[in-house]
Amino acid sequence: MSSRLYSSADRMIINLDRAVRSLQGRGTGSGRPSPAQTETSEAMTSRDRRASAALMRVNHAGEVAAQALYHGQALTATDPELRRAMDEAAREEDDHLRWCRQRLDELGGRTSFLDPFWYAGALTFGAVAGLAGDRISLGFLAETEHQVVAHLENQLSRLPADDARSRAVLEQMREDEAAHASSAEDQGAVELPSLVKRAMRFASRVMTRSAYFF
């Protein structure tokens, strides 16, 4: 019992450390270099830079939330294998977080003031999903990733045409998120009720709209 309590306390401390790292953009991730490195976006007008920065702020906030979802699920998942898979996925999301942050800096933009709020909210959602059982948790993950892919499609269509660097980042993220969804499905994700999917879409709309401005 005490070792179980000890490991829960351990995980809480590790999670706090991760939360701070995520919010400060100091996560190590898997160390993949940003896909933006292979592109140039030198000819952008200041208006386009502002438009891109607002979109990348939204994507950065989304990645903060993605980190927190995985961290929350890893916190309450009962299957050690699943917990490891969640931790591994969080590391890949950390790459996305870092790439968005770097691109945001290049564009002279800022992160969302509400990032700590997104982190806390998503951590709670993730932990609750984890408590609901591993297959439901995987279903929640798969649905989140499907919604993120749809969101990224929309972002790519709104990105200024001359911003090849942000485009390269978003395209790689879209590919990774689709792979995360497939792997959750392969691991036995259940399909969530449509009401839950709608509620998730609503929550992410609130987040993306607020992060665009704040």
Residues near Fe ion, by CB under 5 A: 66, 93, 96, 177, 180
Instruction: Work out how close the CB of 214 gets to Fe ion at its nearest, in angstroms, rounded to a whole number.
Output: 21
Three-state DSSP class for residue 37: helix
Instruction: Work out how close the CB of 165 gets to Fe ion at its nearest, in angstroms, rounded to a whole number.
Output: 17
Nearer to Fe ion, 49 or 180 (CB): 180
For 198, residues 6+ apart whose C-beta sits below 8 A from its C-beta are none
Nearer to Fe ion, 44 or 75 (CB): 75
Q: Residue 133 gets which letter from DSSP? A: -
Q: CA 5 → CA 8, 71, 81, 129, 153, distances in Å?
A: 5, 18, 20, 21, 43
Nearer to Fe ion, 49 or 96 (CB): 96
Instruction: Work out how close the CB of 124 gets to Fe ion at its nearest, in angstroms, rounded to a whole number.
Output: 19
For residue 15, the surrounding DSSP H or E stretch is helix 2-24
Q: What stretches of 25-79 show up as alpha helix (H) in DSSP?
A: 46-76
Nearer to Fe ion, 59 or 76 (CB): 59
Instruction: Work out how close the CB of 149 gets to Fe ion at its nearest, in angstroms, rounded to a whole number.
Output: 9
